[in-house]
Structure 1
Amino acid sequence: MVSATMCRLSVVMIVKNEADNLRLSLPSIKDLADEIIILDSGSSDDSQAVAESFGAKWYVNSDWQGFGVQRQRAQAYAKGRWILALDADEVVDKALAQVISQTINQQPAQTVYGLKRLDYIFGHRIDHPRWRVKPYWRLYPAAFQFNLDHVHESLDVGSAQTEVLEGFLEHHTAPDPEFLLRKRLAYALTWAKERHGRGKRVSGLGVLLRSLWSWLRQYVINGRFLQGRYGFIYAGIFAQYTFNKYALLYDLNHRSDSYREDYQPHAINHHKFPEPAGMNTQDRPATLSVVMIVKNEQKHLPACLYSLGDLADEIVILDSGSTDQTQKIAEHFGAKWFVNKDWQGFGRQRQIAQNHAQGDYILALDADEQLDAQLIQAIKDLLKRPVVNDAVFAVKRQNIFCGKAVHGNAWYYDRIVRLYAREQFTYHDYDVHESVGAQGVNVKVLPGALQHFTNDNLYHFLDKNIRYSTVWGKEKSSLGKKSKSSVVLALTTFHAWLREYIFRGAILGGAYGLFLSVSAAGYHFNKYIILGYKATKYDLEE
């Protein structure tokens, strides 16, 4: 800390599980501040020990009411006439530290000072210091405070004079792609809920236009094209963030009930479900085992099992650690219940589940899927004939996205192999996007449809996309797959959007068809940047 003869400066921070970042940021200000105030909201790592090793004063308030409120609470502990508000992932460079030291020698008045911030992702800078760098009002007299916004809070400067200081804040925004994607999605949901509560509206077209403008602003206007691949990656992620904010706002405005904790997507649910039809009692040439892998599927499982009627000779369910009523529901419908918590990926889990089955055929289902009457009859007709060992059977899966059949009723279906002879075929052991190992085998498509309720709400879908893209990137990296160049990735990401929106007919689904298409493009983009990060360990440049 500096001597008591200097104007008193309080550095104020709010944190949660920021030990690694504090190790970077605190050395840059320990000789600048008279006191360091840190307000924690429930850390479980060694943040407190790190903070106190640098002489910081540690306070705790776990009653989270948003970033703005938390900053005000933290500042209330400060005794300095000057306040320097920092995030744990920000480092004050030497030039900025020197200018701040000179600035606080004067008495506080009505001037608020902006600090220019250079963003870093995955250890690489994405802002050019000679391009226009946005200042953040972070050094100010103690009479000023942050506003009460839940996210993207800012200093309420009022009629104060403003001045931008020389030097930079180095903002280490994310150590890896998954962290950045999850952080931005969490911020987007918080922002959308707050704006929904204020009555803000947005159209589907408005969501798209804001997203495109966001990319243009980040990549071109803010000069991130100068930073090569990392500038390209960040612009893409930030455009997704803007899309997520406004698309989630649209979803909240139109389907707010789907964000309730007790939301039930089906009329038949764990609060109310009829008696099951029971297993098949007819003597058929071929028997059928319905095989499922589940975890915490009480919202979808009742409707799925009820849709089977008396189709199956047995239902085999392999659970990976449910804590809700999934087991109770499964047993109500007469399913055989097994547990394997040693998760090795979706493909391997399906293989283990199949090992518990005894039927001649396997029908692999997910809990969020339901068979229509035509598909059930087609399977029953198949079971009246001897087992087919030299072919597998695909079903036409209709995706229900945010409660809507966005591809229309007949334009596009996923055709996926789900029915096959148990002794001849099984699943690949892929971690994600697993499929039946039936290369070179004749595939017959069954009539009828399998309805797939892909998500409860848009946030659920976006979160699942991040999870799947991370697993895919890790798996493909371990197999030696390489990422795409920036140009190729841009083209293939656009193609992913075009394929979903035009070729697969999501254009018929209105705003939600657009959201699905943009999300599909984002998923494609994300899995390749995660692959690049995993495969090259911070060296994404080609």
Structure 2
Amino acid sequence: MKHHKVTRSHRLSIVMIVKNEAKNLAISLPALQGLADEIIVLDSGSTDNSQAIVEQYGGKWHINTHWQGFGKQRQLAQSYATGDWILALDADEEVTPQLKDSILEIISQKPNDTVYGIKRIDCIFGHEIDNRYWSLKAHWRLYPRGFSYNDNLVHESVILNGAKTDTINGFLLHHTAETPLFWLQKRLDYAKAWADDRYTIGKRVSMTSVITHTFWSFIKQYLIDGRFLKGRYGLVYSLLFTQYTFNKYAILYDLIHNKAEEAFLDSVNTTSQLKIIDLSRKQSTVSLVMIVKNESKHLKSCLDTVYDIVDEIIILDSGSTDNTQKIAEDYGAKWFVNTDWQGFGKQRQLAQSYTSSDYVLVLDADERLDQELRESIVSVLNKPLQNDKVFSVARVNQFCGVEVQKRIWYTDKLARLYANQTFKYSPLEVHESLDQNGIHTEVLNGYLPHITNDNLHHFLVKNIRYSHDWAKEKHQDGKNILLVELLFRSWFSFIREYLIRADILGGAYGFILAFASLGYTMDKYIMLSQMNNEK
């Protein structure tokens, strides 16, 4: 479709910044026909067909992959514009007919010192979640060319410099996200960028501030902004935005207080102090089985705690690009590769198929055996093969470098040592576990320290991936979820972590872990619900 340019005394340039926005551009650009004298689009590295769509509608395509934040990207995009008026839009914003008429009326006049705000109706998963008759915030989007955006990395806005302001009749339809996964990933990127920016300029935040901003966000989004009037999707959006607010402030808190590197170095020091164990009485053999991807930081420290008590090391990689393989081979490991990822359960099954010993010992690269656990494993190997039981280990999780769940109160009991020919893992994509068939479990003495994550952002990225994998699997199984069940399960997740498992003893990070658990549970059920609705 060819874009038909209009001719008027005072020209309008529509300015956008984009990256992989083909789907949204296919909606927003047709609505601009007859409005713009030129459409300026600045891309930051798209790999879809965004450029073809922009050029189909007569837009001018520019590229800048040297990303310095939303504010500076908008400034650069505007520098390519030649119009007297600037209309700044996002690719996911659609101009409604009423708004279009209002803009045409304004730009028929000579630009002065007035900046115009446009009310925006947010839409999520194809549903409007703002009430048109409620008090909606106006975003400064239409202005004379002499004005521009500030330098903010995120949450950028037009610098008013004492300008007059007015609000235009009509609305933008803001198609925030087609799916929950897209919304969560995009908003987590925003949260990380915001936290990095505030940390760089010296902003500090207390745990009280994290909690206050989080709960105030829900009150504002759901009650003050009137989303309670929009039913199910108004509530879902308010919950997701509350999680986004928590992520912003919690990531900033973690940038200031994170102890993961300190905990990692402590684990390396502890490993160097492990004692040699007498293996002369062994009657059974054991294969260490690991699945990995880009684990060069942790793999050596893990293997240092176990290589001397196992008979073979089997490592199945899913596409590492670092030097994980070299580290594994330095320890005599047998290296296998499978990049056809079908979930954690099936990957563990495949890894076990390469073993040849009596027992299988399963570890992740970010886990280590303490001395007592090493001795407990060898004590099992000093006896003939036992097919009538499975051996579990007590895992102690270090969250952002903090042992939030105190080992005197709670540890994960995980079946990790078992007879090779009798047991194997379930095929679940996530939350995989050993198929024990009702066989008795014996908990070994000692602990398995687990360096859960390097930082909070890393933890939240994994949570989004795991929640999506879980939802996809349950959707295929035909599982359904009610909204009330979603709310109950999410808050029970928080109560279970914070009180039952005593995260409360972990201080600030205890609350962060418990609330992140709430968010993970909420996300996976929101994803499942939306997948079911799209049947």
Same fold (TM over 0.5): yes
Shift of 1:178: 0.6
Aligned with residue 516 of structure 1, among 513, 521, 524: 513
Q: Where does the alignment leave 5 or more consecutive residues of structure 2 unmatched?
A: none
Distance 1:256 1:65 in 2: 28
**Match in the other structure for 2:532:** 535
What is the one-letter code of the residue matched to 2:120?
Answer: R
SS of 1:496's equivalent in the other structure is helix
What is the alpha-carbon distance in structure 2 between the residues aligned to residue 62 and residue 355 of structure 1?
45
Question: Once the two structures are superposed, what CA deviation does each residue of 1:285-342 show, in whole Å capped at 9, x if it has no partner?
Answer: 2111111111111111111110115221211111112111111111112222122222
Residues 257/437 of structure 1: CA separation in 2 closer, same or farther (3 Å cut): closer
CA contact (8 A) 2:279 2:309 kept: no
Q: Deviations over 1:369-411 (max 9, x none)?
A: 1111111111111111122111111111111100110112311
- State whether structure 2 residue 177 is matched by structure 1 residue 179: no
Deviation per CA, 1:259-302: give whole Å up to 9, x if none.
xxxx9934677xxx989999986352211111111111111111
Q: Which residue of 1 aligns with 2:283?
A: 285
Deviation at 1:535, TM superposition (A): 2.1
Query: In the TM superposition, what is the alpha-carbon distance from 1:257 to its structure 2 partner?
Result: 8.6
CA distance in 1, matches of 2:46, 2:342: 30
- In the alignment, which residue of structure 1 is the partner of 2:486? 489
- Mapped contact 2:11–2:37 kept (Cα < 8 A): yes
Residue 264 (structure 2) aligns with: 265
CA shift digits 1:330-365 (9 cap, x unpaired)? 111222212222211111111111111111111111
Instruction: Establish whether residue 233 from structure 1 lines up as the match of residue 223 from structure 2.
Output: no
**Structure 2 residue aligned with 1:375:** 373
2:277/2:375 contact within 8 Å kept: no
User: Residues of 1 paired with 2:80 and 2:329: CA distance?
Assistant: 56
What's the counterpart of residue 85 of structure 1? 88
Q: Across the two proteins, how many residue pairs are aligned to each other?
A: 530
Q: Distance in 1 between matches of 2:358 and 2:260?
A: 42
Counterpart amino acid of residue 334 in structure 1: G
1:280–1:313 contact (8 Å) kept in structure 2: no
SS of alignment partner, residue 155 of structure 2: coil
What's the counterpart of residue 477 of structure 1? 475
Residues 434-489 of structure 1, C-alpha deviation per residue, up to 9 Å, x if partnerless? 00001321111111111111101111000000000000000010011112x22222
Going from structure 1 to structure 2, the CA distance change for 1:456 and 1:526 (only over 3 Å counts) comes to: same
The answer to whether 1:336 aligns with 2:339 is no
Counterparts of 1:340 and 1:160, CA distance in 2: 60
- Which of 148, 157, 160 does residue 157 from structure 1 map onto? 160
Change (3 A) 1:513 1:292: same
Which of 206, 212, 229 is matched with 2:209 structurally? Answer: 206
Match in the other structure for 2:321: 323
3-state SS of 2:212 partner: helix
1:20 equivalent in structure 2: 23
Spell out the pairing of 1:298-317 with structure 2 (5 A cutoff): 298-308=296-306, 310-317=308-315
Gaps of 5+ in 1: none
User: Match of 2:384?
Assistant: 386
Quote the sequence identity (%): 52
CA–CA distance in 1 between the matches of 2:8 and 2:341?
61
CA distance in 2, matches of 1:408, 1:275: 23
Match of 1:102 in 2: 105
> Aligned runs of 1:351-430 on 2, under 5 Å?
351-430=349-428
Q: Contact conserved, 1:278 with 1:334, CA < 8 A, in 2?
A: no
2:444 corresponding residue in structure 1: 446
**How far apart in 2 are the matches of 1:408 and 1:280?**
31
Task: Report matched runs for 1:250-261 at 5 Å.
Answer: 250-255=253-258
Distance 1:19 1:302 in 2: 43
Aligned amino acid, residue 164 of structure 1: T
Shift of 1:2: 5.2
How far apart in 1 are the matches of 2:309 and 2:159? 65
Q: Pick from 487, 502, 505: which aligns with 1:505?
A: 502
Please state whether the residue corresponding to 1:11 is helix, strand or coil: strand
Q: Is the 8 A contact 1:393 1:444 kept in 2?
A: yes
Whole-angstrom distance in 1 between the partners of 2:6 and 2:209: 54
State how 1:209-220 maps to structure 2 within 5 Å. Answer: 209-220=212-223
Alpha-carbon distance, 1:227 to partner: 1.4
Q: Among residues 189, 193, 204, which one is paired with 1:190 in the alignment?
A: 193
Q: Does structure 1 retain, via aligned residues, the 8 Å contact 2:283–2:381?
A: yes
Match of 2:413, as an amino acid?
Answer: R
Match of 2:76 in 1: 73
* 8 Å CA contact retained: 1:399, 1:452: yes
Residues 457, 130 of structure 1: alpha-carbon distance in 2 compared, 3 angstrom cutoff: same
Cα deviation for residue 7 of structure 1 reads 2.1
Single out whichever of 462-471 and 36-45 deviates more from structure 2.
Answer: 36-45
> Structure 1 stretch 91-100 or stretch 21-30: which is displaced more?
21-30
1:103 is paired with a residue of what secondary structure? helix
SS of aligned partner of 1:37: strand
Taking the aligned partners of 2:260 and 2:159, their CA distance within structure 1 comes to: 34
Distance in 2 separating the partners of 1:241 and 1:371: 36
1:40 and 1:58 in contact (8 A); partners too: yes
Q: Which range is displaced more, 276-285 or 192-201?
A: 276-285
CA distance in 2, matches of 1:453, 1:59: 44
Is it true that 1:132 corresponds to 2:135 in the alignment? yes
Following the alignment from structure 1 to structure 2, what is the Cα–Cα distance between the partners of residues 227 and 6? 42
Hey, what's the Cα distance between the residues in 1 that align with 2:241 and 2:437?
Answer: 40
Letter in 1 for 2:366: D
Counterpart residue identity of residue 331, structure 2: F
Whole-angstrom CA distance in 2 between matches of 1:186 and 1:113: 29
